[in-house]
Structure 1
Amino acid sequence: MKNLSFLLLFLTLTAFAPNPKLTSTKLASGLTVGVPAGFAPLPDDGIAVKYPSPRKPLAVFSNPSGRVDFSVALRPTTFESFDYGVLIKIYKASIQRLYSKVDFIKEDIRTVNGRDYMYFEFISTVSDARRNGSPLAPIKKYQTVQYAILGSQLYVFTFVAPADEQAQWQPTAQAVMNAIVMK
């Protein structure tokens, strides 16, 4: 009975928790995202340093400390949205190969604002096993990644925060992913 009372109290308190404040931002024709209050766009040179890649993200927004990012990237694809059932397994395996360890919190195909997305929420760990000296402390990140295919483009929406700040950023990450509008 105590567990039931605690659960009801928890649900009541979280139901009235304030929603994270988001600013609606148009990134391209037919693409609008919700950017968390206080986040600012990274300039091209900042993106190049933080996300070195031949294909730079469409946009990156960072909190004032620079420890938390929301990014949007585009990649060409030959897949279609009806391939999501197969692709979710492929993308999960790709995520697992990127890190030393991945603890998935949630993975599914979900609908947001009338469009289907592949969604992953996880804690990633990168460990550095040094040969000559003591190993560095592992780097742990809380991440949400949402994928959508529109035409011949794969849209990748990523929210990244330090794992020890997951409780603080999880509601914001989920709100950001739920605010994406693609037409």
Structure 2
Amino acid sequence: MKTLSFLLLFIGITAFAPPPEVKLTTTKLASGLSVGVPATFTPLPDDGIAVKYPSPRKPLAVFTNPSGRVDFSVAVRPTTFESMDYAVLLKIYKASIQRLYSKVEFLKEDIRTVKGRDFIYFEFVSTVSDGGRTSQLAPIKKYQTVQYAIQGQQMYVFTFVAPANEQAQWQPTAQAVMNAIALK
């Protein structure tokens, strides 16, 4: 009985312990832009970016975990919007995210401040499914955090993507990465 009581006390105390610290390495990507990248992630080379992210405008940088299943990417695009437009952009980008996927479950959406700079922030689980009647493909579900910031005439897009079934494992890392962005 004493062992059971001790075990229950131990479980009760550790349940309220803070999550383990996420180890990030500060990486400078451009003048005035540095990000925190998980220590185990490596930069994806240009040919790897071209295969994984085929687009006329390749991301500024992509970092991936050892298995290649989890990515953190940074993209830069021209914009005519200004930071005072964030409230409108929040609605526009939310609608855009909803159109990209078959289903989206938003966990968080807001305008928040990180290191003195405002960002548009989304955290969600996306599902892509083949709507064909004869399709036997399983839906693809991803856990994602996306943060947008405007600097001058540029829109910076920071994206962390992991398999949805690994959300509990990667959520603290994704949040730490988004909180480590320094854009001056």
User: Do they superpose with TM above 0.5?
Assistant: yes
Bigger-Rg structure (1/2)? 2
Give secondary structure in 2 for the equivalent of 1:177. Answer: helix
Q: Give the alignment of 1:50-129 within 5 angstroms.
A: 50-129=52-131
Letter in 1 for 2:128: V
**Separation in 2 of the partners of 1:157 and 1:11?**
31
* Deviation (angstroms), 1:37: 1.3
Instruction: Give the length in aligned residue pairs.
Output: 174
CA RMSD across the alignment: 1.5
Unaligned runs of 5+ in 1: 1-7
Tell me if structure 2 keeps the 8 A contact 1:23–1:37: yes
1:12 aligns with 2:13: no
Letter in 1 for 2:25: T
Give secondary structure in 2 for the equivalent of 1:164. Answer: helix
Residue identity over aligned pairs, in percent, reads 80
Unaligned runs of 5+ in 2: 1-11
**Separation in 1 of the partners of 2:21 and 2:85?**
33
Letter in 2 for 1:79: F
**Separation in 2 of the partners of 1:9 and 1:69?**
34
**Separation in 2 of the partners of 1:113 and 1:69?**
23
Runs of 4+ in 1 over 4 A off after TM superposition: 8-11
Tell me if structure 2 keeps the 8 A contact 1:129–1:136: no
Q: Give the alignment of 1:131-142 within 5 angstroms.
A: 131=133, 133-142=134-143
Other-structure match for 1:40: 42
Letter in 2 for 1:86: V
